Chain A
Amino acid sequence: MEPTTPDRHEHPHTRRLPVTEEHGHEHGPSLDPAHAHAHADVWLSDVSAGYGQRVALEHVSLAVEPGSLLAVVGPNGAGKSTLLKLMAGLARPWTGRIEILGNPPGREARRVAYVPQAELVDWAFPVTVEDVVTMGRFPRLGPIRRPGADDRRAVEHALEQVGMAHHLRTQIGRLSGGQRRRVFLARALAAEPDLFLLDEPVTGIDPTTQELLMDLLEQQAQRGKTVVATTHDLACAAQRFQQVLAVNRTVVAYGPSNIVLDADVLSRAYGGHLLVIEGRTVVLDDAHHHDDAAPGERHFHEREGDHH
Chain B
Amino acid sequence: MHLLLDPLSYQFFLRALVASAMVGTVCAIVGTYVVLRGVAFIGDAIAHAGFPGIVIAYLLGWPLYIGATGAAVATALAIGVVTRRAGIRQDTAIGVLFAGTFAFGVFLFSGIKGYVADLFSFLFGNVLAISTADLIALTILGLGVIVVVALLWKELLYATFDPLGAAASGIRVDRLELLFLTLVAITIVVSLQAVGIILVVAMLVTPAATAQLVTVRFTRLMITAAAIGVASAILGLYISFWLDVASGATIVLVQTAWFVVTLVLGPRGLVARRRGRVSGDGAPDADDVPAGVVGVPG
CA distance A295 to B84 in the complex (A): 10
Q: If the complex has contacts A109-B170, A115-B165, A169-B287, are A126 and B215 also in contact, measured as CB distance less than 8 A?
A: yes
Instruction: Give the contacts of B241-298 with A (CB-CB under 8 A).
Output: 285, 287-298
Contact B217–A138 (Cβ < 8 Å): no
Contact A127–B296 (Cβ < 8 Å): no
Contact B165–A303 (Cβ < 8 Å): no
Contact A302–B295 (Cβ < 8 Å): yes
Residues of B in contact with A, size category: 35 or more
CA distance A295 to B215 in the complex (A): 32
* Candidates A124, A187, A297; contact of B294 at CB < 8 Å: A124
Interface size on A, residues (CB 8 A): 53
From B92-100, B125-133, B138-146, B154-162, the one touching the partner chain is B154-162
Contact A124–B295 (Cβ < 8 Å): yes
Q: If the complex has contacts A126-B218, A300-B295, are A138 and B171 also in contact, measured as CB distance less than 8 A?
A: yes
B65 to A: closest C-beta gap in Å: 28
Of residues B83, B165, B218, B221, which shows the largest number of chain A Cβ atoms within 10 Å of its Cβ?
A: B165
Query: A145 — nearest CB in chain B belongs to which residue?
Result: B154
B residues less than 8 Å from A299 (CB atoms): 297-298
Q: B3-34: contact bitstring with A at CB < 8 Å (1 yes, 0 no)? A: 00000000000000000000000000000000
- Partner-A contacts on B (CB < 8 A): 36, 83-84, 86, 151-152, 154-155, 157-158, 161-162, 164-171, 212, 215-218, 221, 285, 287-298
Query: A296 — nearest CB in chain B belongs to which residue?
Result: B86
Contact B287–A128 (Cβ < 8 Å): yes
CA distance A27 to B168 in the complex (A): 31
CA distance A88 to B169 in the complex (A): 8
The answer to the question of A106 belonging to the interface, with a C-beta cut-off of 8 Å to chain B, is yes
Contact B170–A126 (Cβ < 8 Å): no
B residues less than 8 Å from A90 (CB atoms): 164, 167-168
Q: A173-B291, A296-B83 are in contact. List 7 more A-B contacts (CB 8 A).
A: A110-B170, A114-B165, A124-B292, A127-B161, A135-B165, A174-B293, A297-B164
Contact A293–B167 (Cβ < 8 Å): no
B residues less than 8 Å from A127 (CB atoms): 157, 161, 216-218
Query: A81 — nearest CB in chain B belongs to which residue?
Result: B164
CA distance A122 to B84 in the complex (A): 21
Query: A110 — nearest CB in chain B belongs to which residue?
Result: B170
Instruction: Give the contacts of A108-138 with B (CB-CB under 8 A).
Output: 109-110, 112-116, 119-128, 131-132, 135-136, 138
Of residues B84, B169, B218, B293, which shows the largest number of chain A Cβ atoms within 10 Å of its Cβ?
A: B169
